[in-house]
A and B are shown apart, each in its own frame.
Chain A
Amino acid sequence: MSDLRFVLYSLKYRFLNSFLSIMLTAFGVSIALLISQFGNHIQNRINLDGQGIDIVVGAKGSPLQLILSSVYHIDIPTGNIAYSQAKKIMNNPQIEESIPLALGDNWRGFRIVGTTTNYIRHYDMSLSTGRYWDQNFEVVVGSSVNLNIGDEFMGVHGLLEDGSSHEEHKYDVVGILKPSGTVIDRLILTSLNSVLDIHGLHKVDNSFEKNHEHQHDHEHHKEEHRDVHEHDHDEEKHKSEDENHHKHSKNDKETNETNVLGSSEITALLIKTKSPIENINLPRSINRESSLQAANPALEINRLISLFGIGSKSFAILSLILILIASLNIFSGLASNLENRMGDLAVLRAVGFSKKRIFKIIVLEGILVVLIGILLGILIGFLLFSILTHNIFTLHTTNASLIFNLDFILIILFVFFAGLIAAIFPAYRGSKISIANQLSRTI
């Protein structure tokens, strides 16, 4: 009989003990993996979502809140800012790119973001199907939003699902973006004026957007080999927007004659500067000279990560404790079992099993437990990771998968060696037994 089969029979015979050791190891591994994988996942999300955004300008308040609400879309905004003020900043020669964002509504928890197509271009996104918006109230949706081309829906006021509906306007889905693993996957994007209009604010001059849109459409159309007359298209768009504007103005007058449109406001401005020094100078001057707030995402996220660190360290310690408990359980299982098996080991030694072979058998038993525990732990970790990333909304993005990085290998090695060390002492003791004494104890 091979030593492996002998060990397998032994593990099977004391099933409950083996099972407990395996499960403890598996839980230790899965929690350690989850912590490591979520750490990677969050870091990737932070990097991807914040890519190329050097400064965020918004209303006064918590800078972290401003960053979280405008860049990562996981907090409520600090308030709105006058578009006229934002426009001044946008014209600053030190700014390479600026993207205005108007928030305030959602559909089933997916935020409706009024912006320009520069926002899509910034994340290097492309359409999976459909087209970009031409008119107000046309939307392009991220890949995780459960909407199809041609669907119509009403936005709900606020950033929570249970707000009041904007029943006077319906949004029309005209495009769906490809999955990117960024925050865009779970956003509903529309023109800035759609959001301003729905909230009864003056529309903005979006000529800057049109230039980008024109360029973007041109690139896009070239890619798709679509025969579109862009000048005609632009003309039509102007006409259509004018008509639209007329229609809404007319509606507004009809519904409430005393209604006066408020001045244009946006929620935030995402800025990419021309040089790194401006990432420090520009926020300083904006914060000093205006009623706006400018925050640096890199600084704020570092703050957030240091806060996160406390939580993730606690989890890391918890998983370490679990792994140690699993190792102690392997040790205790083998050691207590050894006491009952001294007679068996003495028989094996008597019939010619060498000390090395006895040592190998006991270590093999520990290694098998730890290896099965590791495999099961990886499986449980993978399943939990998949379930959590698909079911917890704020974690949900596409392209979230297990990363087999150095952390992953180190966790596996740590658990393996912890189990191995736990098996070595009983194995050493088992191999050193006095055969004659053990046999005579029971003879």
Chain B
Amino acid sequence: MLFKIKNLEYKKSNKTILNNLNFNIEEGKHLLVLGSSGSGKTSLLNLMSGLLKPTNGEIFFKDHEYSSLLEEEIDKIRATNFGFIFQKLHLIGHLNVKQNIDLIKNKNDSKKVENLIHGLGLNQKSEQMVSELSVGEAQRVAIARGLANSPCVIFADEPTSSLDDYNTQKVMELILEQTKQTKSTLIVSTHDKRIKKYFSKITEMSL
């Protein structure tokens, strides 16, 4: 079992965001966390990736329960197992395309960056500063960065919410193609119902 969520509860400023959540995710399977704004889907992603600590309950990743781990150990799990694709991309402004991707890659995987740049059609842009890219190009860089450390889990937060149908399809196909190649698990949080069709397992969240 890749993830095991048991009786998960999360409160913020005395407001319950998540209450008694239970589910499992097997390796290689994808999960769509669907819900409206403020329903707690981003909090769930943050809890599952160890960026937040739950108020109650347990989160197991590969049989490691987060609360039993030191902060550095959770950092290490994120560095070696997780990839992130953020809604606003969060590319680092003072680095170029290649450097943004290179920043995340594992040290022993030097060809990975070149392959990703090539695979995502960014060959001509690799030395360009990210501030000079179009939205589509920047999105591809963000996807490449999310995959650069060959993660077994990819967390994507609202990857398509600001895109039109055509680009939504393109981005989803691109991410799923990459996950197929790396046999990784994709966990997406979104309010965008258009992408439901790409997932067999969907957790719907409500306020």
Q: Among A346, A352, A440, which residue has the most Cβ atoms of chain B within 10 A?
A: A352
B139-154, CB < 8 A from A: 149
The answer for the CA separation of A6 and B102 in the assembled complex, in Å, is 11
Q: Please, which residues of chain B bring their CB within 8 A of the CB of A6?
A: 95, 103
Which one of B21-29, B71-79, B116-124, B163-171 is at the interface? Answer: B71-79
Interface string of A412-443 (1 = CB under 8 A from B): 00000000000000000000000110011011
- Determine whether A354 belongs to the interface, using a CB cutoff of 8 Å to chain B: yes
- Determine whether B126 belongs to the interface, using a CB cutoff of 8 Å to chain A: no
Supposing A9-B99, A443-B87 touch, asked if A436 and B46 sit within 8 A by C-beta, the answer is yes
Q: How far is the CB of B144 from chain A (nearest CB, A)?
A: 13
Residue pair A354, B72 in contact (C-beta under 8 Å): yes
Residue from the list B52, B75, B102, B149 in contact with A436, Cβ < 8 A: B52
Q: How far is the CB of A376 from chain B (nearest CB, A)?
A: 23
Residue pair B79, A10 in contact (C-beta under 8 Å): no
- Determine whether A355 belongs to the interface, using a CB cutoff of 8 Å to chain B: yes
The answer for the CA separation of A349 and B78 in the assembled complex, in Å, is 9
Give the number of chain B interface residues (Cβ < 8 Å).
Answer: 32
Residue pair B95, A9 in contact (C-beta under 8 Å): yes
Q: Please, which residues of chain A bring their CB within 8 A of the CB of B76?
A: 352
Residue pair A353, B87 in contact (C-beta under 8 Å): no
Interface string of B58-96 (1 = CB under 8 A from A): 000000000000011001111110111011101011110
- Determine whether B157 belongs to the interface, using a CB cutoff of 8 Å to chain A: yes
Residue from the list A352, A355, A435, A443 in contact with B158, Cβ < 8 A: A443
The answer for the CA separation of A369 and B90 in the assembled complex, in Å, is 26
Residue pair A351, B78 in contact (C-beta under 8 Å): yes
Q: Please, which residues of chain B bring their CB within 8 A of the CB of A347?
A: 84, 86, 90, 92
Supposing A1-B99, A435-B51, A440-B42 touch, asked if A344 and B90 sit within 8 A by C-beta, the answer is yes
Q: How far is the CB of A310 from chain B (nearest CB, A)?
A: 48
Closest to A441 in B: B88
Closest to B101 in A: A1
Which of the four size classes fits the interface of chain A?
20 to 34
Residue pair A443, B88 in contact (C-beta under 8 Å): yes
Q: Please, which residues of chain A bring their CB within 8 A of the CB of B93?
A: 13, 344
Q: Please, which residues of chain B bring their CB within 8 A of the CB of A350?
A: 49, 51, 78, 84
- Determine whether A233 belongs to the interface, using a CB cutoff of 8 Å to chain B: no
Q: Please, which residues of chain B bring their CB within 8 A of the CB of A440?
A: 42
Q: Please, which residues of chain A bring their CB within 8 A of the CB of B94?
A: 9-10, 12-14
Residue pair A351, B84 in contact (C-beta under 8 Å): yes
Q: How far is the CB of B58 from chain A (nearest CB, A)?
A: 19
Q: How far is the CB of B104 from chain A (nearest CB, A)?
A: 5
Q: Please, which residues of chain A bring their CB within 8 A of the CB of B46?
A: 435-436, 439
Q: How far is the CB of B109 from chain A (nearest CB, A)?
A: 13
Residue pair B75, A354 in contact (C-beta under 8 Å): yes
Q: Please, which residues of chain B bring their CB within 8 A of the CB of A349?
A: 51, 75
Residue pair B75, A443 in contact (C-beta under 8 Å): no
The answer for the CA separation of A343 and B84 in the assembled complex, in Å, is 14
14 A-B pairs with C-beta separation under 8 A: A1-B103, A9-B94, A343-B90, A344-B93, A346-B90, A347-B86, A351-B103, A351-B104, A352-B82, A436-B51, A436-B52, A439-B86, A439-B90, A442-B88
Chain B contacts to A: CB under 8 angstroms: 42-43, 46, 49, 51-52, 71-72, 75-80, 82-84, 86-88, 90, 92-95, 99, 102-104, 149, 157-158
Query: Could you list 13 further interchain pairs (A-B, Cβ under 8 angstroms) beyond the known A9-B95, A350-B51, A352-B75?
Result: A10-B94, A347-B86, A350-B78, A350-B84, A351-B104, A352-B78, A352-B79, A352-B82, A354-B75, A435-B46, A439-B86, A443-B86, A443-B157
